């Protein structure tokens, strides 16, 4: 974190947006491949976020506080059938965010989460190409979200307007899923 502080100054929010996803149904034919998918997914989606947060918190405590914003997914709430490992990893990320929020508030560190639905990204592109009409029909706003839709909420959380939001998860999915 020290090079980041040197480059941007103190109190730079940590936004953890790394993720991996692949179809990995419970009924897969090769046990080892399914288990490898779970390990790969959790390694990046959860075990990548926790150490990054831990390192950022070291600087944030020295600087008088800070913000951690994690990008989860509506999959955290749904109980996914084709990619349960992804949904479970995003649910773990929501819980990690809540744990950080409760444990670190005393240090003026707040943590929040956004939970996008389908967003026009490279990661979502294969599913959007294969199932676009089915996906859009699940969304009351009748459109897939944009990166700008998510970035706007993250900017809000990172700004002073989001200073009192701690431990929250904001759904960004056009109304396709409610928690």
Closest CA to 100 of 43, 152, 156, 51: 51
SS3 letters across 122-154:
CCCHHHHHHHHHHHHHCCCCCCCECHHHHHHHH
Closest CA to 123 of 33, 41, 22: 22
Residue written as token pair 């349960």:
84
Q: Which residues are catalytic?
A: 86
State whether residue 71 is helix, strand or coil. Answer: strand
Q: Tell me whether strands 14-16 and 66-71 are parallel, antiparallel or unpaired.
A: parallel
Task: Enumerate the H helices of the chain as residue ranges.
Answer: 2-8, 31-45, 49-62, 75-78, 84-104, 125-137, 147-158
59 within 8 A of 66, measured Cβ to Cβ: yes
């Amino acid at each position: 974190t020290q090079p980041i502080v040197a480059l941007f100054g103190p109190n730079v929010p940590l936004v953890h947006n790394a993720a991996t996803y692949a179809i990995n149904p419970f009924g897969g034919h090769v046990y080892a491949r399914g288990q490898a998918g779970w390990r790969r997914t959790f390694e990046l989606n959860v075990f990548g976020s926790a150490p990054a947060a831990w390192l950022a918190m070291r600087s944030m405590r020295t600087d008088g506080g800070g913000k951690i914003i994690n990008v989860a997914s509506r999959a955290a709430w749904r109980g996914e059938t084709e990619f349960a490992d992804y949904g479970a990893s995003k649910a773990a990320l929501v819980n990690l965010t809540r744990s950080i929020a409760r444990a670190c508030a005393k240090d003026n560190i707040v943590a929040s989460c956004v939970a996008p639905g389908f967003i026009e990204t490279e990661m979502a592109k294969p599913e959007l190409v294969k199932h676009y009409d089915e996906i859009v029909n699940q969304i009351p706003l009748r459109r897939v979200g944009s990166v700008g839709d998510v970035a706007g909420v993250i900017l809000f959380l990172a700004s002073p307007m989001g200073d009192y939001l701690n431990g929250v998860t904001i759904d960004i999915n056009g109304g396709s899923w409610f928690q």
